[in-house]
Structure formats: structure tokens, C-alpha cells
Amino acid sequence: MRRYRNPNKDIWQGRVSNKFLYLHEKVRCVPLNEISEPSKKSITLLGYACDEGVKRNEGRIGAVKSPEIVKSSLGKFPNHLASTVVLQDAGAITCEDGNMEETQAKLSTAIYTLLEKKQFPIILGGGHDMAYGHYHGIKNFLDSEKSKQTIGIINFDAHFDLRQNTNGNNSGTPFYQIASESKKQDVPFNYLCLGIRKDANDRILFQTAKELNVTYILSDTFQMQFLDEINTWIDAFIKNVDKVYVTIDLDGFSSAYAPGVSAPSPMGFTPQIVLECLKTIISSGKLISLDIAEMNPKFDIDDQTAKLAASLVHYIMHTIY
């Protein structure tokens, strides 16, 4: 299958218990075209092995290698999922020729397929350009049901990723692209950013966010001591949408926690505040799909960022089901 790589069973290794105590013992490797509607609750991991958008955005390339590394780290984690929950690895969407747009379209089709098969998708990237394909996969699925359900995007990130795409698409343009298309289609653009840094976004980006009615919480407020206020903002945002798509950009975390990213900074947020917010989002019952972006193993230290990404996935899986 073009722009696709089958799951690699060899990356799922760890301590052997023969009692499904670890996730590498729990996971099933199933090619994307063999995914079927489960009789049980099911989570499917899918990689987005592409950092062409990061390259175009003049960032540090290397995120293309991250999906399998995050999965490998996750496999060593303990399994607390019920026997009634299925965990699958469906391989990765790939970009070998620099055609990011076709890769995004392939991801969109994959997301549609997973949702149609009643999976909960967790996508591991790869550059944040995957958000464009991911969103459209969700939208196409909801449109196919003729339900006219609205989508709310919640982005944990230091950056708005609202750069105009006049000179082409990249990892900094996905939400501007979505906003522009939403306007043309006369559908609402519901976008909440958590952890935005003033030192990571120029004034044009702040102006764009204002013009697009983007809701955001700055990094100096996105801290544990303001959790109640933050949850009030999240609850208000979720109340106005039917489904929620969450995207977590690892470069939003402080480099103390995530050194292996495309655009690191010591001024980012902590894992604790993200976990608390995820708990609020998941408890709403509206979360439909999620991705984790910008893990760059080329610059990781002692697999710290890979372990952070794996810990987030571990938490999400065990909180959803």
C-alpha cells in the first residue's frame, strides 16, 4: 500500500510475564486494511512518519523516526486495561518523497476508516502538519453520518500554528488552513490553545488568533495553581461543540521534560497540568480522536521525550477505558 508501512512486531518487546502484565503482551499488530469492527472497546495506534512540514517550516528534522520509538517505549509499560479492551498497532502513514499533502490525505482516509470501524485512534507523529489530515478524517467521518456535528480542536502547544500558507503548507499552517476552509464552507472554527507563549508567536499570529476568535490560555496562566480556572475555560469550550479532537505538541512542554522535539524551550508547561486537563476533556465523553506531535528522537536525551509521549498515551488509554 502506497504511503503506508505495516506494523512492526519486533518493536513490541519487554519483560515477559505470560500474564499480559505489560502492553507489549497486550497489543495486536494489525495492518490498516485488516482493521475490523470490534466486539469490544478498541484503541488503535497509528504512526505519522513525516516531518516534511517541519523541514518546510525551518525546524529541526528527525520527527519522522518517532512513531516506532514511542511505541517501543510504550510496550514496556504495565498493562492495566481490562480484557474487554483491544489494543492494536496499525503501522504508520509514511512520506518518502516529500509530498506532504498526499501524506495528509492518506492520514485523513486512515482516520475515517478507523472511526468507521469504531476504533479510538491515537496518532503518533511526526510533524504537527498531521493535524490538518487528522481533522479532515474526523470531519469526513462525521459528515458521512449526516449528523452535522461540530468539532472542537483543543491544542496543547506553545504555538498557535496559524501561519498563513501563502508560500505553501508546513507544520506551522494546519490550523490556519482549517480555519480558512471552515470559513468557505460556512462551518464554525472552534479552536482552543493551551500553553501559548508570547516568546514563541509573533504579533501577526496573535492578531490572526484574534481575527479567528481563537480561545487561548497563555503559558504563565497554564499552571497547576490556576487549574480550576483552566477547567472552567475547557468546560465552556466543550459545551459548545459536539465532538472534541485533541492534539498535543510535545514542544509545548518545557525542555526539562521534552528535550527531543523540533522546537525546544525551557519555558514550556509541565506534564501534570496536561494530565489534569486531559482528565477533564475525557470525562466530557466527547473526545473522538487524539494525536501527539513533534517527538524528535534525534535530539532526545536518555529517551526522556519518548517516555513522556508513551506516558501520555498510557494515561489516555487507561482513562478512556
What is the rounded distance in angstroms from the CA atom of residue 19 to the CA atom of residue 187? 49
DSSP three-state, residue 243: strand
| Residue in the block written with cell 470531519 | 139
Element (H or E) spanning 69, and its range? helix 66-75
For residues 274 and 41, the answer to whether their CB atoms sit within 8 Å is no
For residue 165, give the C-alpha cell.
500558507
Look up residue 43 and give its DSSP letter.
E
Determine whether the annotation assigns residue 128 to a binding site: yes
For residues 314 and 147, the answer to whether their CB atoms sit within 8 Å is no
* Closest by Cα among 255, 260, 266 to 66: 260
Q: Which amino acid is at 253?
A: F
Backbone angles phi, psi at 63, to 5 degrees: -65, -15
Backbone angles phi, psi at 172, to 5 degrees: -100, 0
Determine whether the annotation assigns residue 318 to a binding site: no
Element (H or E) spanning 142, and its range? helix 130-144
Determine whether the annotation assigns residue 302 to a binding site: no
Determine whether the annotation assigns residue 161 to a binding site: yes
Determine whether the annotation assigns residue 157 to a binding site: yes
What is the rounded distance in angstroms from the CA atom of residue 278 to the CA atom of residue 274? 6
For residues 293 and 107, the answer to whether their CB atoms sit within 8 Å is no
Binding residue positions for Mn(2+): 128, 157, 159, 161, 249, 251
Binding residue positions: 128, 157, 159, 161, 249, 251
